Structure 1
Amino acid sequence: MSVSAPSAANTSLKGGFLAAIFLMATSAIGPGFITQTATFTAKMGAAFAFAILASIVIDFVVQLNIWRITALTRRRASDTANAAIPGAGYVLALLVLIGGLAFNVGNIAGAGLGLNAMMGVDPKIGGAVSALLAIGIFLSRRAGLLLDRMIIGLGLLMIVMTVIVALTTNPPVGEALRQAVLPDTIDFATITTIVGGTVGGYITYSGAHRLLDKGLVGEENLQAVTRASLTGIAVTGVMRFVLFLAILGVVASGVTLDLSSQAANPAAQAFASALGEWGLRVFGVVLWAAAITSVIGAAYTSVSFLTVFGEMDDRGRNIATVIFIAVSLVVYLALGKAPASILVFVGGFNGLILPIGLTIFTYIGFARSDLMGGHVYNRPLLIASAVVCALTWYMGFKSVGTIFSFLLG
Structure 2
Amino acid sequence: MSDTPETVTAPKVTDYLKARRGALVGAIFLMATSAIGPGFISQTAQFTITLGSAFAFGILISVIIDFIVQMNVWRMLSLSGKYVFQLVGQAVPYSGHVLAVLVIFGGIVFNVGNIAGAGLGLNAALGLDTKIGGAISALLAVGIFLYKRAGVVMDRFLVVLGIVMIVLTAIVAIVSQPPIGDALRQTVWPDTIDIATITTIVGGTVGGYITYSGAHRLIDNGTVGPDRAKEVNRAALLGIGVTGIMRYVLFLAILGVAASGVTIDLASSSANPAAQAFGHALGDAGLRIFGVVMWGAGISSVIGAAYTSVSFFAAFSMRALEPKIRSWSTVIFIAVSLVVFLLLGAAPQALLVFAGGFNGLILPIGLTLLMYVGFFRKDLIGHKFPTWLLVLGSLVCILTWYMGITSASTIFQFLFPPAA
Look up the match of 1:362: 371
Q: Which amino acid aligns with 1:364?
A: V
Instruction: Count matched residues.
Output: 408
Look up the match of 2:298: 291
Look up the match of 1:379: 387
CA distance in 2 between counterparts of 1:273 and 1:314 reads 46
What whole-Å deviation, never above 9, does each CA across 1:25-81 have from its counterpart, x for those lacking one? 111112121111012112222221121111000000000110000001111111111
Residue 132 of structure 2 corresponds to residue 113 of structure 1: no
Identical pairs, percent:
62
Runs of 4+ in 1 over 6 A off after TM superposition: none
> Where do 5+ consecutive residues of structure 2 fail to align?
1-6
CA distance in 2 between counterparts of 1:61 and 1:15 reads 24
Give the C-alpha shift of residue 337 in structure 1: 7.8
When structure 1 is superposed on structure 2, of 145-154 and 209-218 the one drifting more is 145-154
Give the C-alpha shift of residue 188 in structure 1: 2.4
Residue 399 of structure 2 corresponds to residue 391 of structure 1: yes
Task: Work out whether residues 30 and 291 of structure 1, in 8 Å CA contact, stay in contact via their aligned partners in 2.
Answer: yes
When structure 1 is superposed on structure 2, of 168-177 and 300-309 the one drifting more is 168-177
1:176 pairs, out of 180, 183, 187, with: 183
Give the C-alpha shift of residue 175 in structure 1: 2.1
State the SS of the aligned residue for 1:254.
coil
Return the TM-score normalized by structure 1.
0.96
Look up the match of 2:323: 314
When structure 1 is superposed on structure 2, of 107-116 and 152-161 the one drifting more is 152-161
Look up the match of 2:104: 97
When structure 1 is superposed on structure 2, of 330-339 and 243-252 the one drifting more is 330-339
Residue 381 of structure 2 corresponds to residue 352 of structure 1: no
What whole-Å deviation, never above 9, does each CA across 1:170-214 have from its counterpart, x for those lacking one? 112222223222333333222121112211100010010111111
Task: Work out whether residues 189 and 402 of structure 1, in 8 Å CA contact, stay in contact via their aligned partners in 2.
Answer: no
Look up the match of 1:221: 228
When structure 1 is superposed on structure 2, of 383-392 and 162-171 the one drifting more is 162-171
CA distance in 2 between counterparts of 1:368 and 1:400 reads 30
Give the C-alpha shift of residue 272 in structure 1: 0.4
CA distance in 2 between counterparts of 1:182 and 1:10 reads 44
CA distance in 1 between counterparts of 2:55 and 2:340 reads 31
What whole-Å deviation, never above 9, does each CA across 1:247-269 have from its counterpart, x for those lacking one? 01111111222223232221111
Task: Work out whether residues 116 and 346 of structure 2, in 8 Å CA contact, stay in contact via their aligned partners in 1.
Answer: no
2:238 pairs, out of 231, 243, 246, with: 231
CA distance in 2 between counterparts of 1:185 and 1:339 reads 30
Task: Work out whether residues 194 and 348 of structure 1, in 8 Å CA contact, stay in contact via their aligned partners in 2.
Answer: no
Look up the match of 1:403: 411
Cα distance change on mapping 1:83 and 1:51 into 2, 3 Å:
same
CA distance in 1 between counterparts of 2:146 and 2:104 reads 21
Q: Which amino acid aligns with 1:276?
A: G
When structure 1 is superposed on structure 2, of 383-392 and 262-271 the one drifting more is 262-271
The structure with the largest alpha-carbon Rg is 2
Look up the match of 1:269: 276
CA distance in 1 between counterparts of 2:230 and 2:261 reads 47
When structure 1 is superposed on structure 2, of 148-157 and 388-397 the one drifting more is 148-157
Task: Work out whether residues 84 and 364 of structure 1, in 8 Å CA contact, stay in contact via their aligned partners in 2.
Answer: yes
Residue 19 of structure 2 corresponds to residue 6 of structure 1: no
> Where do 5+ consecutive residues of structure 1 fail to align?
none
- Cα RMSD (Å) of the superposition? 1.5
Residue 335 of structure 2 corresponds to residue 323 of structure 1: no
When structure 1 is superposed on structure 2, of 134-143 and 228-237 the one drifting more is 134-143
Give the C-alpha shift of residue 340 in structure 1: 4.9
CA distance in 1 between counterparts of 2:254 and 2:412 reads 27
Residue 220 of structure 2 corresponds to residue 241 of structure 1: no
Q: Which amino acid aligns with 1:299?
A: A
CA distance in 1 between counterparts of 2:187 and 2:402 reads 20
Give the C-alpha shift of residue 366 in structure 1: 1.3
CA distance in 2 between counterparts of 1:183 and 1:333 reads 42
2:260 pairs, out of 240, 243, 253, with: 253
Q: Which amino acid aligns with 1:278?
A: A
CA distance in 2 between counterparts of 1:336 and 1:260 reads 20
State the SS of the aligned residue for 1:156.
helix
CA distance in 2 between counterparts of 1:396 and 1:406 reads 15
Look up the match of 1:72: 79
CA distance in 2 between counterparts of 1:355 and 1:382 reads 14
Task: Work out whether residues 109 and 339 of structure 1, in 8 Å CA contact, stay in contact via their aligned partners in 2.
Answer: yes
Task: Work out whether residues 27 and 297 of structure 1, in 8 Å CA contact, stay in contact via their aligned partners in 2.
Answer: yes
Give the C-alpha shift of residue 128 in structure 1: 1.3
Residue 174 of structure 2 corresponds to residue 167 of structure 1: yes
